[in-house]
Amino acid sequence: MSNENPPFTVSSFYSFVSEKRLMAAKCNECGTVLLPPKPMCTKCLSTNLKWIELEGAGKLVSYTVIHVAPEQFQSMTPYTVGIVELKNGLRLLGIICGVSPEKIRVGMNLKIDFEQSTSVQWPTWPRYFFRPP
């Protein structure tokens, strides 16, 4: 992002995603990491925050296979959505690509990847997803 200190919003988060960067807000007072970012620390209520870049690798802790999807995702069915615990302990929800649903297992290693949306309908923002390393 060209702005030195963008606001701590979901919009700024997706601007970083468009640059293929996984960013979070970190409280300078208590050290809490906020993902998705928020303008105020949820632990100590401080607004003294900074952006930090996260390593986008971790382990799958839970998942579900989607067979009946909203219209904009129907062409992807069946697809898998999972919760990945990153190496710093944060958990992030995302679509899992590059592996068939029947081969997905809790505990498997996954890494983040990025794509620009080519959709003309929602969702049109840049996206992150997870795949095996």
- 79-127 pLDDT, tens digit per residue, is 999 999 999 999 999 999 999 999 999 999 999 999 876 655 555 678 8
pLDDT > 60? residue 1 = no
Contact by Cβ (8 Å): 115, 39: no
Q: pLDDT band at residue 56, thresholds of 50, 70 and 90?
A: very high
pLDDT > 60? residue 50 = yes
pLDDT > 70? residue 34 = yes
Query: What's the confidence (pLDDT) of residue 86?
Result: 96
Query: What's the confidence (pLDDT) of residue 2?
Result: 46
SS3 for 41-108 is CCCCCCCCEEEEECCCEEEEEEEEEECCCCHHHHHHCCEEEEEEEECCCCEEEEEECCCCHHHCCCCC
Query: What's the confidence (pLDDT) of residue 73?
Result: 83
Query: What's the confidence (pLDDT) of residue 64?
Result: 97
Query: What's the confidence (pLDDT) of residue 119?
Result: 59
